[in-house]
Amino acid sequence: MSSGNAEGERGTENPVAESIPLKGWRKALAEHMLSSHLTCAEVTQMREVDATELVNLRQSLLDRFEDDYGFRLSHTHLLIKAVAQALREHPIVNSSLVGEEIRIYRDVNISMAVALDNGQLLAPVIRQADRKSIVEVAQEAIKLTGQVRSKRFNLDILSGGTFTITNAGMYGTDFVTPLINAPQSAALGVGRLVPKPVVRENQIVIRTMMGLSLTYDHRVLAGVTAAQFFQTLEQIIQDLRQMELGN
């Protein structure tokens, strides 16, 4: 009876609705991600961060940025700036393992994952993000996103990144475990912003919480080192007086 059922299952084919060849950018991306996954000793730390002040800061700057600069400031723009500042304080995270040496980079170049309508994911690079003001970071992010989505760009904008940020929160995801964008050593996954009851000074209050996931290469970063970077990033997000906004 068991054999008959198996034969019946093999004889019933599910019609293929569409066949998408694995070639071009799909093949290149698949090979790059698989190579990164197989060669890195990936570990992911997660924490839920109080992003209330981040939300409040964006809201306070929104109208002025639209009036003065003609664009809408996003939470991602503020996160890029916060991450760049945290990387400067923990330079080992801003590194690559090349052969038998860990190369710590002087410039903090943030790769920003951008999803296209066809499912393609590209990560243009905001160079020297730690030295740029929040206005410059936002303007650069908007320009690069537009170039990538219009498919009018030089491949140079995809190279030279030292750390990647991918924001899945806009799709309702709470936590995401990003793959490392080799040869980088770490990547940050960002979840959605959610109002939640939390305890502050023995009182239950509503705060806007955000899930963050840090995936890192354990060959380069010890767990405590990654945790210290994560802690610094959380402190910047929760006390934005520490953030160097510039202009």
Domain boundaries, the chain: 43-242
CA distances from 122 to 41, 78, 135, 181 (A): 23, 20, 23, 11
User: What is the predicted pLDDT for the residue at 5?
Assistant: 53
Report the C-alpha gap between 99 and 87 in whole angstroms: 23
| pLDDT score recorded for residue 7 | 47
**Peptide bond preceding 21 in cis form (omega within 30 of 0):** no
Residue numbers in the chain where pLDDT is lower than 50: 1-2, 6-8
Say if domain 43-242 classifies as CATH 3.40.50.300: no
Q: How much is the pLDDT for 53?
A: 94
Q: Which of 36, 108, 105, 50 is nearest to 237 (CA)?
A: 50
Between CA 152 and CA 159, with CA 153 as vertex, the angle to 5 degrees is 155
Ramachandran area for residue 42 (φ above 0: left; ψ -120 to 50: alpha; else beta)? beta
What's the rounded Cα separation, in Å, for the pair 218 and 61?
38
Cα separation, 180 vs 67, in Å, equals 38
CA separation for the pair 93, 194 (Å, rounded):
28
pTM: 0.86
Per-residue model confidence as pLDDT tens digits over 25-39: 667 667 666 666 667
Which tokens is 37 given? 């996954």
